[in-house]
Chain A
């Protein structure tokens, strides 16, 4: 005891030297801005990449929506960009499918996983636990650059002669595995897809390891697990999910790659005749791909959405000016969701031809997972009760998150039941469902995080008026886009079609036109966000240290934080993250790292 209280001068000297060795300020342009080891720079790099990715993904969706609403009308400029598959501005079916595949892949992997998890997580997790950096800064740098190369490899698929892949973001075998014979877009483009996703998995595995180790080992004095902010908890749980999920998708992509270029038959059975050619494969199973993919794919939904849970639980109390209702229950529910996410993958495969009995088994945990999810939503709504809500843009996006998550979650009741899924599975009902629950909800989480943390990241405030316009128009827009998809699905309108030539689907065209208008307008509204983002980065009002009167450690350091996060100060944590609505030294809140004058709340 006495030793740890007063270390010998020699010992202290060595520790300080070691600490200095570890955290010297970066030197030179490359180490500062490109191959940086600083988690904050890496977090920003992830967010900037996600920003580029989301713009590409959104433009792809505009092209698709335009074609679905106006199948015969040429898109200006499309003929120039894609001379063969977009000749005269009207896209071919294979171009449509490649846009769809790239939209899904870019959005799920390079936006919804990178921005809320790798982006914000990298920047804020170490600060929120009071660490100077991640546990493994070099792994962290590798994590970003491997992911970035993965992104470039994916984009390169647009440029290859056979075109970008057309087998959807799920890349079902054998369509994805047999190669060129199966049609355009299934040549080199599909191989690049497999390489890109394998690289992405490596990048996220490195990131997950880092997050877990940092959370467990680098917490500052007084930061017990129970005192961690909800966002840290969410990133921690997400990284555990990611560690298991990506380590399954990685070998799956390797096997797919081998089937494509190595002549193996992991996913291809015997006796297939494609383009009049008997395929030289035997013994593989297309269902193996589906099991591996969805064993990753369902947890991936939670990898995309749990950081959003964390952001909402972290941001909402700061603007409700009261603590979250049932904080331990909230964390328990997030952990339960994480665990249950591994037991439900078969609900994507009700109609796949696996034993029908297993559909019943998979539907039970799928419906059970709604219980912790419902509890979380109710805890947020209960938090709003009796609050003193400050309607900042970040708060509005949190409230919007709750609304769209409820809408998307509830349509899950239908799809979780095999007997209803047998009607709705291949329809727009599913498109509406997953866009609400993991697309829009996760995006709202990203927007809330951006408006909330921007001052800390860039030292300047975003414009609140522009932000509120952005919120209101986006909120109306997403309902106009995705709610009608549920009606289309009920009417049996099939998804992944580039045109609706079938008689019974022709009646859906007016609704498709409406969705197209809504998508184009909502997309245009995002310009408000981009303007706000760039303008504020350079011209926004200078941000104080704690503009939102929030409590957690990131608000106890300068905006932006120095390279070692807290400078010479070593933060000590005295209380939980959620002390709002109390009498504090500078208002109705008490910060985690500020001791009470009376000596209450001693470090744990």
Chain B
């Protein structure tokens, strides 16, 4: 029984690792300036934890194979050195790995979420609602109109609750159902939710961020190549959650300028 289990565990370990290494199911391509930092961190963690995983499972299998059965009258043995080697291994090997990962990971994390916003960043106001994303560009004046929740009326197209009659900054605001951005230009999203919690996730950008009702949350990224990617919601938001998505379109600067001008004239 012990030998059967040991063989089984070895096969499971080998197959599990093989599928990871074969990259049959793997991260999508990376189109973000910060993506490689995250990918690097993930790869490093994968290698280190992969080694620990294989080592732990194989040692378990080996001991179960070797020390099975009590019919042969052999004496029991204590692990050489007792519990001390366990503490040393756990603290130095795992603790050391943990410390290294934390230090490097903190740098990656702060480069995404704690870096001051680029002064040249294109600011886009993102509104999430059941079950859609909307994106607002400030227009020629560079300022966003104020949001009045009581004026929100999907029926007449006032998705954001703007008041262009009294608010001059709101008159040239452009609202789009897709997130259209110029390539290689820093983008600063201001994220807020109209109703319940949502989240913004673009795997190719390697970023994910919750929308929390009542909060205005900043998120920065720079896309490095023209692309069309799905934006999906990853915070449970109701029955249509599975179908809540939008598109990110990354285009060359000239195309983007043209697109923005077209939107403004509409």
Contacts and interface: CB of A to CB of B under 8 A. Distances in A.
Nearest to A471: B5
Given A356-B113, A422-B38, A423-B42, A286 B213 contact: yes
B4 interface: yes
A414 B44 CA distance: 10
Interface string A451-470: 00000000000000000100
A75 B149 CA distance: 43
Nearest to B217: A353
A92 B196 CA distance: 21
Interface string A237-273: 0000000000000000000000000000000111111
A70 interface: no
Interface stretch (B165-173, B175-183, B228-236): B228-236
Interface residues of B, number: 105
A322 interface: yes
B110 A356 contact: yes
Nearest to A400: B5
B195 interface: yes
A351 interface: yes
Interface string A160-187: 0000001110001011001000111110
Contacts of B155: 276
Interface in A488-504: 488, 490-492, 494-504
A352 B102 contact: no
A468 B2 CA distance: 11
B261 interface: no
Nearest to B91: A371
Interface in B120-171: 129-130, 149-150, 152-155, 161
A472 B90 CA distance: 30
Interface string B75-110: 111110011011101110011011101100110111
Interface stretch (A142-150, A201-209, A374-382): A374-382
Contacts of B94: 370-371, 374
Given A389-B68, A468-B1, A483 B235 contact: no
B216 to A, nearest CB: 9
A347 to B, nearest CB: 12
Contacts of A353: 209-212, 215, 217
A371 B95 contact: yes
A363 interface: yes
A422 B235 contact: no
By Cβ-Cβ distance, the 9 closest A-B pairs, closest first, are: A426-B234, A386-B77, A269-B214, A326-B83, A492-B203, A388-B70, A356-B113, A487-B25, A378-B86
Interface of B: 1-2, 4-5, 8-9, 12, 16, 19-20, 24-28, 37-38, 41-42, 45-46, 48-49, 52-53, 56-57, 59-60, 63-64, 67-70, 74-79, 82-83, 85-87, 89-91, 94-95, 97-99, 101-102, 105-106, 108-110, 112-114, 129-130, 149-150, 152-155, 161, 194-197, 199, 201, 203, 206-215, 217, 229-230, 232, 234-243, 245
A261 B211 CA distance: 25
Contacts of B49: 410-411, 413-414
Nearest to B16: A483
B241 A496 contact: yes
A496 B244 CA distance: 12
A511 B25 contact: yes
Contact of A278 (B1, B5, B76, B149): B149
Interface of A: 92-94, 96-97, 166-168, 172, 174-175, 178, 182-186, 268-274, 276, 278, 284-287, 320-322, 325-326, 329, 351-353, 356-357, 359-360, 363-364, 367-368, 370-372, 374-375, 377-379, 381-391, 396, 399, 402-403, 406-407, 410-411, 413-414, 417-420, 422-423, 425-427, 468, 472, 475-476, 479, 483-484, 486-488, 490-492, 494-504, 508, 511, 580-581
B186 to A, nearest CB: 17
B60 A274 contact: no
A286 B114 CA distance: 22
B79 A166 contact: no
Contacts of B57: 403, 406-407
B87 A175 contact: no
A379 B130 CA distance: 50
30 contacts: A166-B238, A178-B195, A182-B196, A183-B239, A184-B239, A268-B213, A276-B152, A286-B213, A320-B76, A325-B78, A351-B209, A367-B98, A371-B94, A383-B79, A390-B69, A399-B60, A410-B49, A417-B45, A419-B37, A419-B41, A419-B106, A422-B38, A422-B109, A487-B19, A490-B26, A496-B241, A498-B241, A499-B243, A502-B232, A581-B76
